[in-house]
Amino acid sequence: MRLTDLPLRQPAYVDMIDWSALTPSEGQRLREYGLCEGASVEALHHGGFLGKGPIACKVGRMTIAMRRNHAAAVTVRTGPDTGAQDEPA
């Protein structure tokens, strides 16, 4: 499921990020915000009229806002955390 389709306030985990859909600086900024495969994520608000505006979501303990085209590059999964990439081996 893409982050844009994730229902509001349903905890999820980042499954995959299509870094090629982002410019290098956007990718860097998102990484600095803590967005990475395995990070916990929760959509909080859809902005703009008809929900076409940016999305505010919680990544880890931080709330960040991004536009829908960027959120669409993030694939998420709900359900229990398998923690595949979250824990350092």
Give the separation between CA 45 and CA 79, rounded to whole angstroms: 20
Q: Does 67 bind another protein (CB under 8 A)?
A: yes
In angstroms, what is the minimal distance from the CB of 80 to another protein? 18
In the region spanning residues 20 to 59, those forming contacts with another protein, defined by CB under 8 A, are: 25-26, 28-34, 36, 44-54, 56, 58
Separation of alpha carbons 66 and 68, rounded Å = 7
Burial label, 77 (beta-carbon count in 10 A; 0-12, 13-18, 19+): middle
The least CB distance from residue 58 to another protein, in Å, is 8
Contact residues: another protein, CB under 8 A: 25-26, 28-34, 36, 44-54, 56, 58, 60-67, 69-70, 86-88
